[in-house]
Structure formats: structure tokens, C-alpha cells
Structure 1
Amino acid sequence: SSVGPQVGLWNKNYSGINRANVILSKIEKATTLSAAFKTRVTAETKFLRAYFYFDLVRWFGNVPLITKVLETSELYTQVQSTPAQIYAQIEKDLRDAIPGLPATISAGEKGRISQGAAKAQLGKVLLYQNDNAKMTEAATLFEDVNRVGNPYGYSLLPNYADIFNPANKFNAEAILEIPHSNNAAWSDWGYINGGEGNVGTQFVGMDSYNGDTYSSGWGFCPVTLDLVGVMKNDPRFAATIIDGAALKAAGATYNGRYQNTDYFIKKYAPLKAFRSASGVAEQNWPIDEIEIRLADTYLMQAEALLRSGGSASRAKELLDAVRARVGLASIPATLDNVYAERRLELATEGHRFFDLVRTGKAVAVLGSQGFKAGKSEYLPIPLNEIEVTKGGIKQNPGYN
């Protein structure tokens, strides 16, 4: 297809990669920049290129690997690289970036990349390749981020709900946070991926909502009844899921949209208190996206330790810490328990699909929803990319 969300994902990431390549091609030649500035910006740029490629390789699999500024003629002759080749470049960029990044970010620069974020991202990249030989290094990287007294200032927040409070940006649990503002005075509906605000917040809000606390949204991404059933008695439920039926019982109204379940995402919900008074409010939500946080890296380290034959006691300590924060009892440190905890702790934060795919559980869990092995792991590559390269770029299996 030449339309759809996969086109936006593809274009957004390759636009970022192109900008990164431009910066890297020019910064070394610059004569008016300090060595310290060059070192930090080069490291940040390599981190971002790795970040964009990690998105692409997870969503599309075989994608073009471009690490230089292309001549116009080269735009039409690109071919795909394998996921292994893409991952090798991602690892290289992150390893190059780590030494040039600061341990902490000053108050006026929040949103820039820290060394801890790069180590956590590299650990995640190693984990996602599903190669047990990479798990020991992943666990070591996570330990540097997770250990008490880590040099990056990370710690679990005592109150789970505080992590997602828009007034609590860049809190001690956030490792990689994408900042959003409500400063845009204009909008571009043709490029909603490029705005300063978080348009995703508008998507998940209740359609035509009239009531307390929340602002109206568009009613997409309703929470599945399966997740509700799993979480109903979990202490994190109230901070994770909005119970629409309870709001209606209290006098609120909204329209149920496609696949409505009367349960909605709370962590990124549109809040009246944060609705923009300027620009186009629907595209101007100042609600940040937390891509990686400490409870996530705790659970990723526990998984890496268990998969590499590392310290089972440390894995249990990490799993227990995530549960103890919300008042849950200790449980055995098994892979199944770690995966189950990831679903609960990180619900609606964008990890579940990739967790199911990388652990080989997607068919069993999503097969009844139409997931097909060998196809559904990836999105279709945008048709115009195939056409402009005259078939040099091949469509993913199952989409022809």
C-alpha cells in the first residue's frame, strides 16, 4: 500500500536517518565548533541513527542500510539489507556513541541523550535479537544502569502512577523519554509524525467525551478485554486503564468507536489540565513518551540473566523489586514469570507485540486475531518504495 501508518513509520525513520547522515558528513569538517561539542553531537547523532534503524528493523525486517548522504541517482537503486546486517550497524553506532555521551543531563537540556540511555538501548537491541550468546553482554549493560548507586541517577518511583504524570516529566525512572510540547502555533495533518505535540494522546482518548478529568479524543486503541481480565485485580490497573463504564455510571458520556470495549489507555490519555489553549489542540498534547524506563530494564536484565545462565538470585531480586513497588509478593524468577510481569508492568507502553514476536509466542497468543507466522511479524513495505526502485526493494512475504 502507498497509504497507511506503515508509510508514516517508514518516512519518519528514514527522514531521521538522512538528517543523521548529513550531520555526520559535515561535523568533522566544521572549524568553528569545539571538540567537546563535536564529540557529544556525533554521539547523539549515532544514537539517533541506531534508534531509527531499530524501529525499522523491528517493523519491516529487510530494509535499506544507508550510512552516508546519497546522491540523487542513488535514491532509486537502493536494495535491502538483512536484519542481521541492520542490527550489526545499530550495535556499532551505539557502541561508538556511549563514550561520547554525558552520564547525566542538566535541567535545561532534558530530552537529550545520556550514556545510561545508550547503554539501556544497546542492551535492548542485544536482547531483541533473540540470540542467547548476546545475553551476557546485555545483562552487563543493564546492570550498569540498574544497580543501586548507578551514575545516571535512576531509581524506581515509589508511586507507580507518578511515572506517567505529565507534570512529572524526566523523573528518576525515565531512561529514554521523547519530549512533547504544546508550543506549536500551527499544525500539518499531512505529517503528524513531525509535530512537537503528542498526537497519539488524541487517538487514545474517548470519542466525544463529556465529563471530568479527561478531554475528548478519537476513541482508537481500546484496551482489550483479555488485558482487562489479566489486570483487573492488579494494583497497577487504575494507573493503566480507564474504566469507561464506571465513568458513565458517574454521569460522563462518550461514543464507543470501532471494537469498543469501554476500557481505554490511561497512561497517555488526554487530560483537561494539559489541553493546549493555542495552535491545534489535537496535535499539541505536551505528554511525553517514555520509551525505556527502569522497571523495563530491571525486567530485561532478569530475562537476560535467566537466558544466559547468569545469577538467578539477581534475576529474582530485580523481578521482586518491580512487584514490591506495587505491593505484590515475591515469586520465582522464571522466564514465564518475567514475561507475564512485563505484560502487566508495561501494559499499553508499546512493548507487548515485540515481546510476543521475539519470544516466539505471537502465533499462540495472536493467532485467533489473524496473526500468521512468516507474515505478521512485519508490516508491508510502502508500495512507492518498491516502485521507485523498480523492484529493487522487495515486498515482505504475504503482502504481494
Structure 2
Amino acid sequence: MKKIYSIPVFLTMMFLVACSEDFLDLKPIAMETEETFYKDFDALDMTATAAYGILCTRDIFDYYIFMGYASAADDVEVGGENTNDWPQFQAVDRLQHSPMLSTIFDSWGYCYKGIRMTNEFLSRVDKIRATDTKVNQALVDQRIAEMKFLRAFYHFYLAVVYGGVPIADKIVDPSMFSTPRNSLKEVYDFMIKDLKEAIPYLKEKSQLAPNYGRVSKGAARALLAKILLYESSYAKNYPGDERFAGMQERWTEALQYAEEVINSGEYQLVGINGERFASWRNPNGGVGGYRWIFTLDGDNSPESIWEIQNVMDGKGWTYTRGSYIVTYFTVRYYYRPSDPTHSDRVVGGWSFNLPTSYMVNAFGNQDSRETGLHSVPVDPKLDPRFATSIGRPGDTILVNDQTEGEKWFPMSFSNLPTQTISRKYECSPQEYWNGRTNDNEGPMNVRWIRYADVVLMAAEAAYMAGDKPKALNYINQIRKRARMSGNTGYPEDLTDISFEDIVHERRL
């Protein structure tokens, strides 16, 4: 009996002796870790997708940039139901904002989230490239370039809001959370380096179809031209300001990259030859190019260099992948002419981003603060861009009325102190209002870089570099497209050009 009891004791002792530290240090088998997840390029590519995904955040890259920051200038007021609507935006409008406003600090967190994703990808790609035998090396080069563009883009957004910021060129660990800010010049040099390294490996827009949301060679060149233009402007206008220490005038270089976009043959000013495009706005005769590019049908048009794509998967509150712009900017009320009381009825929009009288007058070259213009004062409505951009009392909107059906009704301006409304981003009832379930389901892409913007960059850079004839040619291309989008003969070509003329065209 004694021998029988000793057998299990002996086996137990043998088992314990055989144990080693490996027994206690086994890697978890029921939980994904970074080491087990990043096994091939397909897994790493999900991180690249996540870096793009930050762009779908409604708080930053959707209505914030158009409404939250534009209201600080004189061309728009915040608007809304009344002057107390959206206090955070009202504070920016009155220049009473603080760093604690979500309109300010949200950009910090979201941009650095995007930067972290780009750095996560870039820190792992060399190992994956060496170990994944099936990987397409050209595709790896393209993704690296895309991540460098996005890293530069997020840094640029931060620099516009904050000035000098901490450069994040690698994954940030807790010990780096108190990293001091870099100078603005250092941030600009970092962005320029990333973009120059990215351009050779990116595809042209025509090669990306149908994946137009990916970064193209044209997008990188355009962003680089913009950054060089900003640096040049800081250097010229603030030569003794320590915030811009080290900045240089780089007009020729800015012009070079803008013209690489222009001469690529990938883009055009839509409607410059008078083309008309099918649209619900005018089912019989179509609309001009300038009106069409700001419609749903104009998504990824030949004038688009880079747009944040509308995915509308509805996953989450801030990551809807739809747009808030339609709801925020569309007029709030309309009325039935058949109703003698002209009572307000709800369209569904929130009537934010109201053009001011300064903006109205600018379309007619009548803003008294603008001096040095070579265009003559005219009725603002003669510029075809006016009706696309601004609505006023007497203008109508297509509404699906419960009683009278779908037709054009007069907009109500009873709650709008400026007696104006923004009109670029309206949608038809069929496109949006009839089927929406949330206010953030606007169907249009967010247009971030347009070819017209690049043409204006080229005009400014050429003018500052001393080539006025070239600058005049580029400005007149912008004016011609506007003119050919209507039938009034305006705006006319300029015969001479000033820097103020370039600034004026950019306002419009």
C-alpha cells in the first residue's frame, strides 16, 4: 500500500522539476498582440487605413474647418437659430475663444491620433517588407508615400491652428508626453521633407480610379506648393517676428510645384468652355461648371485634387463617414406662398455660416476695404458664383412639402441677422432630406484640395516672383471659368494685375 501512494507523489515531483520559467512566460494564445497581429503587409495596411480614417472625424475635417475657423474672419457670421446658438463657434466669431474650446483642442487630439497611425505604419514597414515574401514592393513604396503625405497634412493642420507644435516623427511613448514644441520653421522643414520624399512614389489621380480617396501625386504637389507659399508669405510679411524666425521667401519653388500640378494634364477648371451639366437644379438645361462641382454629382470631378470620401457606414458618432456640412449650411425655414401668414416651416438645415455684407459686396467688387483692384464695381448678382454661394430673400429651395409635394419654395430669413444663407452645399430631397436618419448623413465628399486653389497659388507665386504676365493669365483662367458658368458676361478678364486682385479672387 505504501508503494501505491508513492507513485503519484513521485510523478508530481517529476512534473515540478520539469517545469521551467517558460511554463510561466507563455505568450497569450487567446489574445491578439502587436507581435502576432503585424505578421504581413495586409495586416499593416489596416494601420494605413486607420491613418486615413481620422479624416472622417466630423469634428475636425468636416464642418469645423469651414465654419469654426472661417467665422473668425469678416466674410461669414456663425448664424444658427440665434446669436446664442453654438456658443463655442460664437466665441471664435467674436475672437473670445480659449484653448479649452472643443473647436480648438479637438484638432490637437485628432491630428496626433492620425500622426500616430502614420508612425505606427512607418516604424514597422521595413520589417514587414523583409519578411513578407509575397508583398508587392511597389505597393509598399506607395503606402509609405501616402503615410508621409498624411503625416505632413496632419502637422500642417496643427501648424495652422497652433503655430509651432511638437514634431512627431516616431511613435510617442509616455516619457515623451511633455515634449516641447518645435519652431514653426522646424515644422515646415519637416513637412516639406516628407512631401518631397513622397511625391516620386505616389500615383497620379487617373491611376487611382476608383480609389480616389487615396493620396495622389497631384495632392502631394499641391500641399507642398501651399506650404511653400505659406512660408514665403510669413517671411515676407513678418521679417522681424520671432514666431517666423528662419522662414524664407520660396516663391519660385512654390510656383514650380503648383505648375507641376497644372501641367500634369490630370485636372481642369470644370466648365471653363461653357459646358453644362445635368443636375436636379435645372433638369432641362443643366447647370454651369462652378455650380456643378459643389453638388453630389460633382464628387471627384476633374477639378478635384483630393477629397475626403463619403462612405456612410454609420459606425459611430464622430466617425459617421457622412458629412454635416449639408445640415449645418442649409437654410432652416421656408414658407408656402399659398399660406397668407407665410408661417415658417422646417427645411431641416441649421442655417450656420452666414455670408456678411462684406462678402456680398465682394462679388460686385464693392467692398470698400479692398483697394488696388483692377475690376470695376458691378451688381454682385452678375457674377455667376454669387448665386451658387449666397442666398437672399426671394430665393427658393427645393423642398418635399407634406401638403404641396416636391417643388421650389421661398426660403425664410426670419431668423437670419445677415439676411443671407450659404448655398454651395445644398442637396435635393431625393439625395438627402427624404431618407436621412441622422443629421450627419450628408452625401457629398469634403473637397479639401481643388485645382482652382492651385491655379490661384500659381498666380500668387508668379506675381511675387516677378512674373506678372503669368500671374495675370492664371487669374483670368479663374475669372473665365466663372464667366462661362453663367450668361452675364461677368466677371470680365483683367488687363492688369495686383496682389489685391489675387486676394480678391481667393475670397470668392
**TM tier relative to shorter chain:** 0.7 to 0.9
Corresponding residue number in structure 2 for 1:315: 471
Q: Does 1:306 align with 2:463?
A: yes
Question: Using the alignment, how far apart are the partners of 2:262 and 2:359 within structure 1?
Answer: 28
Flag the 1:102–1:197 CA change in 2: closer, same or farther, 3 A. Answer: same
Corresponding residue number in structure 2 for 1:336: 500
Match 1:103 to one of 178, 184, 204: 204
**How many aligned residue pairs are there?**
331
Corresponding residue number in structure 1 for 2:359: 227
1:282-297 correspondence to structure 2 within 5 Å: 282-297=439-454
> Contact 1:215–1:271 at 8 Å: present in 2 too?
no
Flag the 1:69–1:280 CA change in 2: closer, same or farther, 3 A. Answer: farther
Normalised by the size of structure 2, how large is the TM-score? 0.61
Q: Does 1:69 align with 2:177?
A: no
Question: Using the alignment, how far apart are the partners of 1:244 and 1:43 within structure 2?
Answer: 49
> Contact 1:211–1:251 at 8 Å: present in 2 too?
yes
Q: Does 1:5 align with 2:103?
A: yes
Q: Secondary structure at the match of 1:326?
A: helix
> Contact 2:326–2:427 at 8 Å: present in 1 too?
yes
Residue 209 of structure 1 and its aligned partner are, at CA, apart by 5.2
Name the amino acid aligned to 2:255.
A
Question: Using the alignment, how far apart are the partners of 2:411 and 2:423 within structure 1?
Answer: 17
Question: Using the alignment, how far apart are the partners of 2:118 and 2:412 within structure 1?
Answer: 43
Q: Deviations over 1:11-48 (max 9, x none)?
A: 22111111111111112211323211210001001101
Flag the 1:92–1:80 CA change in 2: closer, same or farther, 3 A. Answer: same
Q: Does 1:202 align with 2:327?
A: yes
Q: Deviations over 1:180-230 (max 9, x none)?
A: 23x223441xxx3x3301123322222255789x95222221111210122
Flag the 1:206–1:95 CA change in 2: closer, same or farther, 3 A. Answer: same
Q: Secondary structure at the match of 1:108?
A: coil
Name the amino acid aligned to 1:137.
E
Flag the 1:184–1:88 CA change in 2: closer, same or farther, 3 A. Answer: same
Corresponding residue number in structure 2 for 1:28: 126
Q: Secondary structure at the match of 1:291?
A: strand
Q: Deviations over 1:226-260 (max 9, x none)?
A: 10122223221111122254339x74455755x63
Corresponding residue number in structure 1 for 2:63: none
Residue 122 of structure 1 and its aligned partner are, at CA, apart by 0.3
Question: Using the alignment, how far apart are the partners of 2:480 and 2:292 within structure 1?
Answer: 16
Question: Using the alignment, how far apart are the partners of 1:211 and 1:46 within structure 2?
Answer: 53
Name the amino acid aligned to 2:124.
K
Flag the 1:35–1:279 CA change in 2: closer, same or farther, 3 A. Answer: farther
1:173-188 correspondence to structure 2 within 5 Å: 173-181=303-311, 183-188=312-317
Flag the 1:308–1:160 CA change in 2: closer, same or farther, 3 A. Answer: same
Question: Using the alignment, how far apart are the partners of 2:414 and 2:110 within structure 1?
Answer: 31
> Contact 1:64–1:78 at 8 Å: present in 2 too?
yes
Residue 52 of structure 1 and its aligned partner are, at CA, apart by 0.8
Residue 5 of structure 1 and its aligned partner are, at CA, apart by 0.9
Is the deviation greater in 319-328 or in 200-209?
200-209
Bigger relative contact order, structure 1 or 2 (CA pairs below 8 A, ≥6 apart) = 1
Q: Deviations over 1:40-64 (max 9, x none)?
A: 0010011011111111101111222
Q: Deviations over 1:340-385 (max 9, x none)?
A: 11111xxxxxxxxxxxxxxxxxxxxxxxxxxxxxxxxxxxxxxxxx
Q: Secondary structure at the match of 2:182?
A: coil
Residue 336 of structure 1 and its aligned partner are, at CA, apart by 1.1
> Contact 1:14–1:52 at 8 Å: present in 2 too?
yes
Q: Does 1:15 align with 2:126?
A: no
Name the amino acid aligned to 1:117.
A
Flag the 1:141–1:154 CA change in 2: closer, same or farther, 3 A. Answer: same
Identity level (%): 28
Q: Which of the pair has more CA radius of gyration?
A: 2
Question: Using the alignment, how far apart are the partners of 2:217 and 2:336 within structure 1?
Answer: 43
> Contact 1:201–1:285 at 8 Å: present in 2 too?
yes
> Contact 1:208–1:216 at 8 Å: present in 2 too?
yes
Corresponding residue number in structure 1 for 2:267: 154
Question: Using the alignment, how far apart are the partners of 1:187 and 1:93 within structure 2?
Answer: 32
Q: Secondary structure at the match of 2:172?
A: coil
> Contact 1:244–1:264 at 8 Å: present in 2 too?
no
1:1-400 correspondence to structure 2 within 5 Å: 1-30=99-128, 31-32=131-132, 33-75=135-177, 77-104=178-205, 105-129=207-231, 130=233, 131=235, 133-147=249-263, 150-151=264-265, 153-158=266-271, 159-181=289-311, 183-188=312-317, 192=318, 194-208=319-333, 216-231=348-363, 232-233=380-381, 234-247=383-396, 251-252=409-410, 254=412, 257=415, 260-275=417-432, 280-309=437-466, 311-327=467-483, 328-331=491-494, 332-344=496-508
> Contact 2:146–2:202 at 8 Å: present in 1 too?
yes
Corresponding residue number in structure 2 for 1:395: none
Residue 277 of structure 1 and its aligned partner are, at CA, apart by 6.9
Residue 287 of structure 1 and its aligned partner are, at CA, apart by 1.1
Structure 1, gaps ≥5 residues long: 345-400
Flag the 1:244–1:64 CA change in 2: closer, same or farther, 3 A. Answer: farther
Residue 165 of structure 1 and its aligned partner are, at CA, apart by 1.6
Flag the 1:276–1:21 CA change in 2: closer, same or farther, 3 A. Answer: farther
> Contact 1:207–1:256 at 8 Å: present in 2 too?
no
Question: Using the alignment, how far apart are the partners of 2:156 and 2:504 within structure 1?
Answer: 24
Flag the 1:244–1:14 CA change in 2: closer, same or farther, 3 A. Answer: farther
Q: Deviations over 1:96-142 (max 9, x none)?
A: 11011012343221111111111111001100111463100111111
**RMSD of the alignment, in Å?**
2.4
